[in-house]
Amino acid sequence: MDKIVRVLLCFAFFGVSLAHAEQYPSKVITIVVPFSAGGPTDTSARLLGQTMGAALKTQMIVENVAGAGGTIAAAKVAGSPPDGYTVFFHHIGFSTAPSLYRKLPYDTIKDFEPIGLIGDVAMTLVARKDFPAKDLKELITYVKANKEKVNLANAGLGAASHLCGMLFMSAIQTEFTTIPYKGTGPAMNDLLGGQVDFMCDQTSNTISQIKAGKVKVYGVTTKTRVSALPDVPTLQEAGLPGFEVSVWQGLYVPKATPKAVIDTLVKALQTALADPALRKRFDELGTEAASKENATPEALRKHLKSEIDKWAPIIKKAGVYAD
Ligand code: ASP
């Protein structure tokens, strides 16, 4: 081939790929959410999607791929085209799954590129309205005395609600029945209907029911009280010293997604998290938006790894596994 033709072809190739990268996004982006619609992860993802979509000048839609504590969704994202049109919204459960599941259909570190941290959500321990325990001390006494009959709803092994319930069992040294759902949206419906007794879930899912007096609340799982629920004590204050867990959330894409696409998503995430309307809504839902420094691939990569290391011995000690 003539040298000049080769050079021209080369320019044409780079021209096309640059134009392609510059065009991103040119169609709808799907946010895969690993739990059912109507739950807290779904709520946060929809809020973020609206604001990030505006920054990206495209629509971001949510696809709920529920089941197996979020691992089905993670496997689906790991196998999706690395083109920036599939993004993954997951939480702390992404870091506990490697210890909880003997075999995972994906590699948590190698199969994904982190985009950034999104936020941190306090959890609340709540029970059905007519549950016979008015505060945490009474709840502990009641659960210990009725461990054969009480049950706790969660969103399956690997869900934040599962982790919190497990920590609660270990804190009060009592085992009781847990009922797995595909998300805590449907679990909340059953709690409101009185079919299950209690649940520890993101405040973003419990706050409206607490404020409406439709559930009993025993405490928040963070070290300090949640500003949107000033009258609710922390579980530490209420009688469980050292009890602390919150639900950090992160955004990922499949590995091998081009750097230009990742950079665009990082910028849009940071723009969304600085948006006053989004911050206000997050605040009302007991969610602290990540800072600009934490809404970066480096911060999420580091956090994910440290959380995997943090939970591994705790889960091992609890002896909870799934095949
Ligand atoms: N709150 C759930 C969990 O326990 C998930 C959800 O339905 O958003 O992880």
What are the tokens at 264?
Answer: 């665009």
Pocket of ligand 1 contains residue 245 by CB under 6 Å: no
pLDDT score for 17: 47
Does pLDDT of 8 surpass 50?
no
- Ligand 1 centroid – CA 91 distance (Å): 9
Q: Which residue has the higher pLDDT, 8 or 215?
A: 215
Q: What is the distance between the alpha carbons of residues 280 and 168, in angstroms, rounded to a whole number?
A: 30
Q: Which helix (H) or strand (E) holds 198?
A: strand 198-202
Pocket of ligand 1 contains residue 119 by CB under 6 Å: no
Q: What is the distance between the alpha carbons of residues 288 and 52, in angstroms, rounded to a whole number?
A: 17
Residues 6+ apart with CB under 8 A from 223: 234, 236, 244
pLDDT digits (tens, 9 = 90+) for 83-111: 999 999 999 999 999 999 989 999 999 99
Q: Which atom of ligand 1 is nearest to the CA of 156?
A: 4
Q: Which helix (H) or strand (E) holds 6?
A: helix 3-23
Q: Which residue has the tokens 């982190």?
A: 114
Residues 6+ apart with CB under 8 A from 103: 323
Pocket of ligand 1 contains residue 93 by CB under 6 Å: yes
Mutate to test the pocket of ligand 1, among 31, 32, 33, 35 (most ligand atoms within 8 A of CB): 35
Residues 6+ apart with CB under 8 A from 96: 158, 163, 307, 311, 315
- Ligand 1 centroid – CA 284 distance (Å): 18
Using alpha carbons only, what angle is made at residue 201 by residues 164 and 265, rounded to the nearest 5 degrees? 100
pLDDT score for 92: 98
Band of residue 3 on the pLDDT scale cut at 50, 70, 90: low
Q: How many CB atoms lie within 10 A of CB 123?
A: 30
Band of residue 7 on the pLDDT scale cut at 50, 70, 90: very low
In this structure, what is the dihedral angle of CA atoms 136, 138, 143, 145, given to the nearest 10 degrees? 160
Does pLDDT of 14 surpass 60?
no
Pocket of ligand 1 contains residue 158 by CB under 6 Å: no
Q: What is the distance between the alpha carbons of residues 311 and 303, in angstroms, rounded to a whole number?
A: 12
Q: What is the distance between the alpha carbons of residues 164 and 202, in angstroms, rounded to a whole number?
A: 10
- Radius of gyration over every alpha carbon of the chain, rounded to an integer in angstroms: 21
In this prediction, residues 55-73 reach a mean pLDDT of: 96
Among protein residues, the one with the nearest Cα to ligand 1's atom 8 is 41
What is the rounded average pLDDT for all residues in the chain? 92
pLDDT score for 19: 45
- As a whole-number percent, the residues of the chain with pLDDT over 90 amount to 89
pLDDT digits (tens, 9 = 90+) for 179-197: 999 999 999 999 999 999 9
Q: Which residue has the tokens 């600009």?
A: 292
Which one, of 238, 188, 218, 209, lies nearest residue 41 by Cα?
A: 188
Pocket of ligand 1 contains residue 49 by CB under 6 Å: no
Q: Which of 207-211, 274-278, 284-288, 319-323 has the lowest mean pLDDT?
A: 319-323
Band of residue 323 on the pLDDT scale cut at 50, 70, 90: low
* Bridge partners (DSSP) listed for residue 60: 29
- Ligand 1 centroid – CA 250 distance (Å): 14
pLDDT score for 10: 45
Q: Contact, 203 vs 227, CB < 8 A? A: no
Pocket of ligand 1 contains residue 184 by CB under 6 Å: yes
- Ligand 1 centroid – CA 19 distance (Å): 39
Does pLDDT of 12 surpass 70?
no
Does pLDDT of 309 surpass 50?
yes
- As a whole-number percent, the residues of the chain with pLDDT over 70 amount to 92
Q: Which atom of ligand 1 is nearest to the CA of 69?
A: 9
Which one, of 289, 287, 253, lies nearest residue 29 by Cα?
A: 253
Q: What is the distance between the alpha carbons of residues 46 and 36, in angstroms, rounded to a whole number?
A: 12
